[in-house]
Amino acid sequence: MATAARKTNWFAIWISVGVVVVLVGVVAIVALLNSRATDPGPVPASSGINRETGAITFGKGPDKVSTYVDFMCPYCGQFEAAEGKEIASLVDEGKITLEVHPVTILDRLSQGTEYSSRAASAFYAVAEADPANSYAFFRALYDNQPKEQTPGLTDDELITLAKDSGVTMTAKLEKTIKDHEYVGFAQAQKLPEGATGTPTLMVNDKIVPVTYDPKVDILANLTSR
């Protein structure tokens, strides 16, 4: 007895194909988002910027002082007000090598403008274009630090602040700041292991609790005093 030929269920087949296409699309989107999350984008090119750690280096002293700071962090502003002058003097006297690590953990506190990231990006841009005046710009960012829960400084205000700090503002540098070219690189930077927030201070690769007294925090921990 001959059996009847089976009918091809094209509806089910096309539904299956559609599901596969959707899944492939979702996987592609997830892969793209993951790549964006892990890709720091353009990296500043300067001998004073460590492309792996994100540190911007000042001075060539025997002792190393590393600071991890967020430009929106009020405690970082307090730290710079209390210890910044002493740190600058130690750099100028050739006693320390200063490594500044901008981090961007407080973007959420600038009303959606990502001020921490924009300021860090501007700092990287200045450190790349005019390293001789980048530390003056760094100090100025804290002398003019906006409060939390505000939009922070605009890009134009950051540019003006850089100019007022002695930075040579070329058209290329201005564009780099306005384009937020190094935001991805800044956002890729992390606090060191064992750190709980900003500011984090390390002297010769050891975390030092911040007391806002440079004699206790820094001078007492230098090997060549």
The pLDDT tens digits for 171-224 are: 999 999 999 999 999 999 999 999 999 999 999 999 999 999 999 999 999 997
Q: What is the pLDDT, as a whole number, of residue 39? A: 72
Domain residues for the domain of 27 are: 11-40
Specify whether 75 is located in the same domain as 27. Answer: no
Going by pLDDT thresholds of 50, 70 and 90, the confidence category of residue 9 is low
Number of structural domains found in the chain: 2
50 within a domain of the structure (yes/no): no
Specify whether 208 is located in the same domain as 119. Answer: yes
Look-up of token digits 């500044």 = 100
The pLDDT tens digits for 78-105 are: 999 999 999 999 999 999 999 999 999 9
Q: What is the dihedral of CA 62, 68, 74, 79, to 10 degrees?
A: -10
2 within a domain of the structure (yes/no): no
Specify whether 127 is located in the same domain as 185. Answer: yes
160 within a domain of the structure (yes/no): yes
Specify whether 74 is located in the same domain as 25. Answer: no
18 within a domain of the structure (yes/no): yes
- The DSSP string of 73-132 is -HHHHHHHHHHHHHHHHHHHTTSEEEEEEE--TTGGGSTTS-HHHHHHHHHHHHHHH-GG
